[in-house]
């Protein structure tokens, strides 16, 4: 019997017509107000109507499957399940259960873990699999061999685009998706994970000036973890920084939070305040990246 690998991610609407249903699922069945829906549609329209995330994720899953097959022929069966867009992770988990799998590895395509992200994915997967299937959970994996080295190489490549006379006033900002502050009351280590991964990546890249920021906070009444990257850009410019290298270390593919929140919204603020903003290239289905994921899966099984 093969070992199942349930790869999970947030998901994205496949067409503009799917946006409202997708947003309703995110809001746990509550339809968005016309204003909220219009704002989300506006952001998708700004990057071409839909996000490339579905295509990027499919390529990552295919790459992971191929990498595992090369190293361990006939050992793994890799399938994808989404948190908010079909195929939902419960559907995929159920397919493993119904086909008689006894062991399934759970992998979320996010390097950091938190009670509102990875933990929720795993709980939903575990419930769908049932008691007869062992779920081998993979939580934060940013410390996996090679991952931060790959991030550091992206940072170095971005720094090569900076004019030599501006390197002294250049700073790297590592960012991840913000979450509601209420997670901190229960000791969630998500912020510490971001800073740890940023510090280690900066050291590997040979970067002296760096900081962390948060991005893409939800449009809710609850306070979210900060400081927000737009605020940080203004602060850094006031301190004399002339170039920012933006490294969205919490994201592993091009999607709305990168293509709009960084490339359009943050870039717009940077242009407004006279700041040069350069973003590191996303990992997407880089063979080096999917090879690292394959190593993470194998290590969890072993």
Q: Is the pLDDT score of 219 beyond 90? A: no
> Between helices 19-26 and 34-46, what is the axis angle to 10°?
120
Nearest-angstrom CA–CA distance, 212 and 173: 5
Nearest-angstrom CA–CA distance, 181 and 235: 22
First-last CA distance in the chain:
16
- Overall average pLDDT of the 88-97 stretch: 98
The answer as to CATH 3.40.50.1400 being correct for domain 3-140+285-301 is yes
Nearest-angstrom CA–CA distance, 159 and 218: 31
Q: Is the Cβ–Cβ distance between 191 and 184 less than 8 Å? A: yes
- Fold topology of 147-279: Rossmann fold (3.40.50)
pTM of the predicted model as reported, rounded to 2 decimal places: 0.96
**What is residue 247's predicted lDDT score, i.e. its pLDDT?**
98
pLDDT confidence tier of residue 216, bands split at 50, 70 and 90 = very high
Phi, psi of 35 (to 5 degrees): -70, -45
- Overall average pLDDT of the 23-49 stretch: 95
Predicted confidence (pLDDT) per residue in 120-152, tens digit: 999 999 999 999 999 999 999 999 999 999 999
- Overall average pLDDT of the 187-208 stretch: 98
Question: What are the residue ranges of CATH 3.40.50.1400 in the chain?
Answer: 3-140+285-301, 147-279
**What is residue 40's predicted lDDT score, i.e. its pLDDT?**
95
Predicted confidence (pLDDT) per residue in 250-276, tens digit: 999 999 999 999 999 999 999 999 999
User: Would residue 74 be called left, alpha or beta, if left means φ above 0 and alpha means ψ between -120 and 50 degrees?
Assistant: left
Q: Is the Cβ–Cβ distance between 36 and 109 less than 8 Å? A: no
Q: In the structure, how many helices (H) and strands (E) does the chain have? A: 11, 8
**What is residue 221's predicted lDDT score, i.e. its pLDDT?**
86
């Amino acid at each position: 019997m093969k070992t199942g690998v349930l790869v999970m991610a947030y998901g994205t609407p496949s067409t503009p017509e799917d946006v409202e249903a997708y947003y309703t699922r995110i809001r746990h069945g509550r339809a968005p107000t016309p204003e909220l829906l219009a704002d989300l549609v506006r952001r998708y329209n700004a990057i071409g109507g839909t996000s490339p995330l579905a295509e990027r994720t499919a390529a990552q899953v295919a790459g992971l499957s191929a990498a595992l097959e090369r190293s361990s022929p006939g050992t793994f069966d890799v399938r994808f399940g989404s948190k908010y867009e079909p195929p939902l992770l419960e559907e995929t988990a159920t397919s493993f259960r119904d086909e008689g799998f006894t062991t399934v590895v759970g992998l979320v395509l996010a390097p950091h873990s938190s009670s509102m992200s990875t933990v929720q994915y795993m709980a939903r997967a575990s419930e769908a699999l049932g008691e007869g299937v062992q779920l081998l959970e993979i939580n934060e994996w940013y410390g996996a061999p090679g991952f931060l080295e790959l991030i550091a190489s992206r940072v170095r490549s971005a720094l090569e685009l900076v004019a030599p006379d501006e390197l002294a006033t250049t700073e790297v900002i590592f960012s991840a998706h913000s979450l509601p502050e209420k997670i901190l009351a229960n000791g969630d280590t998500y912020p510490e994970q971001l800073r740890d991964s940023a510090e280690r990546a900066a050291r590997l890249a040979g970067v002296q000036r760096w900081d962390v920021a948060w991005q893409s906070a939800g449009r809710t009444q609850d306070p979210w973890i900060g400081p927000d990257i737009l605020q940080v850009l203004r602060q850094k410019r006031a301190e004399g920084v002339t170039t920012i290298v933006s490294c969205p270390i919490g994201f592993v593919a091009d999607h709305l939070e990168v293509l709009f929140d960084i490339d359009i919204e943050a870039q717009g603020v940077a242009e407004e305040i006279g700041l040069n903003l350069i973003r590191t290239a996303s990992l997407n289905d880089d063979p080096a990246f999917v090879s690292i994921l394959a190593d993470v899966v194998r290590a969890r099984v072993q």
